[in-house]
Amino acid sequence: MTLSPDAILQFLSAIHPYDSMEQDVLRPLVETIEIRQVAKAEQIYPLSTPLDGMFIVYEGEIEVRDENDSLISLLGPRNSFGERGLLRDGISLTSACATRPSTVLLLPAKQFHQALRNSPAFRRFFDRNRTQRIGKPDLATTRVEELMTRSPLTCSPETDVQTAARQMRDAHVSSICITRGDSFQGIATIRDMSGKVVGDGLPFDTPILNVMRSDPISLPPSAIGSDVLHTMMERRIGHIPVTQAGRLVGIVTQTDLTRFQAVSTADMVSDIAHADAAEDMAKVTARIPQLLAQLVASGSRHEVITRLITDVADAATRRLLTLAEAELGAPPVPYLWLACGSQGRQEQTGTSDQDNCLFIDDAMTEAHAPYFEALAKYVCDGLNICGYVYCPGDMMASNPRWRQPMRVWRDYFNGWINTPNPEAQMLASVMFDLRPIGGASHLFDDLQNETLRKASANSIFVAHMVSNSLKHTPPLGLLRGFATIRSGENKNHIDLKLNGVVPVVDLARIYALQAQLTQANTAARLEAAIAVGALSRSGGQDLRDAYDLIAETRLEHQAAQVRAGVAPDNFLRPSDLSDFERSQVRDAFVVIKSMQSALGHGRGMLG
């Protein structure tokens, strides 16, 4: 077939993003395009070879397969392929073959990259990296290391309180950190000095060790500013040390936060921390949908939005635990309340049920059981009142099965690892997302490390977990479209949670299991897997970009529903997206499917 430049120009002018390009940019591009005739069953390019450029189907049909020879897409006229390889070192990440006689247009690699530089429309369409949106700095996007004072006032544990007080006076600060060598020991504030020294009449030569708060709450430099504000509001404190590997690296005080406007979640956490009943908290949590809409509108990234929303749930849980203990009395033995599911991963959105469990110290006896039954019922009922509805699968601490002493939990995990039947795989998947919320956190540390070590060493268990993680697949139709739900109230929709977010959550969990990573958050797991080599940088970045796009699309959909006065859900009608958005979302699903295929063929560690 012979095609003139004018015919190619006319053809491309009806395809996005070329229809958005200026003619003086598009026409020189068209003049470089090469026309290729491809016979039936002819391979256009094999896997892992240098690409000549990007291809556009003019007529015919092209099948694209991944590195495991799994069919990804069946492309027709107006569809492009090969661009991902050009964006990733110029090597083909797929193979392409004609299923019938076809005509394809080849845009040379040099001109492809020139177009990326010269045309914003072209760049937005093909360069899918999800980067942080630039906006006005606030606590939701500012890391603690940018807020903290890097050289806090310090003294040794043996320093007397009068000397410490003079140091604070001379430095014009309201706290002093106590260190021994590089090790952080504790903190003393003006309130401690007035209450314990002056109020109790202690001698001025009393060592600061006897006055300081040992093992106070601290945060790492990687935390975000809202973590500081929420902790201050909930714990009613004004100073938070910043530590890394047990070493003091800074401190954040209320003064450090004055230049920032407090995000609305801080008010919500504060209101919850001062609430006297679940009904009072429910008035606060009812504002979560509007909070989501505001955060999406502000351009915040999805992991920031879900983290802030989860902070509200965490605060509600801890306040309910406090109220329960006030009503029931002090616990007879130590316990730990943990969240799993989306709260455990700090990924809650505008619609969430509750998933939780209770670890109890092995000193528990039958006589203690009624106390913890009442505690669990109080908290689970309270969360339900707050809008975190009861788990449909009854995975809650109010269920005796998920309210047990540590010896029983060890038996649970050992049984799931040694006998990986379908139920064990499902339960293990849920429990690998556990995160402590309130109580004796040390109860979890040893069990988590022990379980990760045993699970990763059991190849049969890992293989079953991998198989289980591939059950949720992206909603891809072969003909460059989506496989939508076929019946029911959500007919012709796609489920952005079950078939979009969940497949990535499952993949990240496997990478974390294989590398014995302790992170529960999906984005954190992906980043950690890349950092330790459990996931290739190229494959990991592709998957992270795809996850970002799907997660942001989900939140934008929910925010639009909130603005329309509709309860947020996860079901999106593809026709509600623009051609540009549909293309991006589908490409993200293709990346996820490719990574699932790689994991299923035993290359999960390579991405």
What is the DSSP code (8-state) at residue 132? P
The answer to whether the beta carbons of residues 419 and 318 sit under 8 Å apart is: no
User: Domains of the chain (ranges plus CATH)?
Assistant: 5-126 (2.60.120.10), 144-257 (3.10.580.10), 264-410 (no CATH), 470-600 (1.20.120)
For the question of whether the overall pTM of this predicted structure is more than 0.75, the answer is no
What is the DSSP code (8-state) at residue 354? -
Q: pLDDT tens-digit profile of 183-192?
A: 999 999 999 9
Two structure tokens written together for 428:
């293990």
Instruction: Tell me what percent of the residues of the chain surpass a pLDDT of 90.
Output: 56
Question: Is the previous residue joined to 574 through a cis bond, with omega within 30 degrees of 0?
Answer: no
Average pLDDT over residues 233-237: 88
Which has the closest alpha carbon to 320: 399, 386, 400? Answer: 386
- 47 pLDDT band, cuts 50/70/90, is confident
Higher pLDDT, 208 or 605: 208
- 69 pLDDT band, cuts 50/70/90, is confident
**Identity at 520, one-letter amino acid code:** A
Distance in angstroms (rounded) separating the CA atoms of residues 81 and 96? 8
pLDDT on residue 136: 46
What are the residues facing 102 on neighbouring strands? 38
Q: pLDDT tens-digit profile of 483-528?
A: 899 999 999 999 999 999 999 999 999 999 999 998 899 999 999 9
By 3-state DSSP, what share of the chain in percent is helix, strand and coil, each rounded to 5? 50, 20, 35
The answer to whether the beta carbons of residues 242 and 144 sit under 8 Å apart is: yes
| Least trusted range by pLDDT, from 8-22, 180-194, 302-316, 457-471 | 8-22
Average pLDDT over residues 36-62: 92
Cα separation values, 145 from 149, 260, 501, Å:
8, 15, 30
pLDDT on residue 260: 43
The answer to whether the beta carbons of residues 473 and 589 sit under 8 Å apart is: no
Average pLDDT over residues 132-159: 75
Starting at the edge strand found earlier in the chain, the sheet holding 403-405 runs 403-405, 356-360, 335-339, 435-439
The answer to whether the beta carbons of residues 196 and 202 sit under 8 Å apart is: yes
